[in-house]
Chain A
Amino acid sequence: MTNLGFLFAAYTAVWVGVFLYTLVLARRNRALQREIDELHELLERREVR
């Protein structure tokens, strides 16, 4: 590997790492928000009854 290759590998690792973690966080937050909305609905339906 040339020195340019090492430089490219290091920056690629940083960007892939940050991108994957951000993706995981965003998906986790979306799933939690969805679950909260479902529970809200369930509670509201129970209150109506």
Chain B
Amino acid sequence: MTSSVRRLADSVLPAAALVAMVAALYMVFVYVPSDRVQGIVQRIFYFHVPLAIVTFLAFGVTAVGSALFLWRGGREWDRLAHASAEIGMVLCTLVLITGPIWARPIWGTWWTWDARLTTTLILWLIYAAYLMMRTVSGPGEQGARYAAILGVVGAVDIPIINRSVYWWRTIHPAVLVTREGGSGLSDPRMGLTLGVSFTAILLLFAWLLWLRTESARLRDALEDMRQQVVGQ
């Protein structure tokens, strides 16, 4: 990758993410009206939902990167898959934290073994296992291949999470597309705020993915240099 692209990613991505974040926070706390039924706490939705969608994207990138690594080989695909899994774990953890904080005042409980909550926890556990496998196996090719298989298979849970609110009886709301069809957002400002928040989280993901893949690239370069030092 050219150094100009590198410089651009180092400066433009964090700046764009920061601007989008500030705009999203302004819209969440000032611009958007409160939900008539849930009141002010419904505003958690504007970060909880984009975090969940970008979590799926992150684990989707892991699955695609893992599949390409298994098919074509090449450290860059493995680096991408590993980096995206780590960021996906951070985002998924935030989804599993913000969800119960929202659920407590609305459902009266922090957690319930609802289909969507349970399948999301399973997704977290699958990719926790992926990351543990990476840590235990070290930098070798074989460990990367075993983890890549898990990276691909684990993504099967993503469409299950997405469809869970339609397939099973759950108390988790289906807001973006309701069970009856159509949008569950009553005010156009809600849709706009959600769009800006989603853009902010997406830019944040892109920046973190860039930083994390750079970290992996440096680690591989370091490993190569170590081999060179030992070989001399």
Residues of A within 8 A of B (CB): 1, 3-4, 6-7, 9-11, 13-14, 17-18, 21-22, 25-26, 28-29, 32-33, 35-36, 39-40, 42-43, 46
Residues of B within 8 A of A (CB): 25, 39-41, 43-44, 47-48, 51, 87, 90, 93-94, 97-98, 101-102, 104-105, 204, 208, 211-212, 214-215, 218-219, 221-222, 225-226, 228-229, 232
**A11 CA to B44 CA, complexed, in Å:** 7
Contact count A vs B, C-beta below 8 Å:
80
Query: Are A17 and B93 in contact (CB-based, < 8 A)?
Result: yes
**A4 CA to B59 CA, complexed, in Å:** 32
- Interface class of chain B by DSSP: helix
CB-contact partner of B102 in A1, A10, A33, A43, under 8 A: A10
Query: Are B211 and A4 in contact (CB-based, < 8 A)?
Result: no
**A44 CA to B89 CA, complexed, in Å:** 40
Query: Are A42 and B93 in contact (CB-based, < 8 A)?
Result: no
**A12 CA to B53 CA, complexed, in Å:** 20
Query: Are A17 and B47 in contact (CB-based, < 8 A)?
Result: no
Task: Determine the chain A residues whose CB is within 8 A of the CB of B102 once the complex forms.
Answer: 6, 10
Query: Are B94 and A17 in contact (CB-based, < 8 A)?
Result: yes
> Given that A25-B211, A26-B211 are known contacts, is A6 also in contact with B101, CB under 8 Å in the complex?
yes
**A35 CA to B222 CA, complexed, in Å:** 8
Query: Are A13 and B94 in contact (CB-based, < 8 A)?
Result: yes
**A13 CA to B91 CA, complexed, in Å:** 11
Task: Determine the chain B residues whose CB is within 8 A of the CB of A1 once the complex forms.
Answer: 104-105
CB-contact partner of A36 in B41, B94, B221, under 8 A: B221
Smallest beta-carbon distance B6→chain A, Å: 13
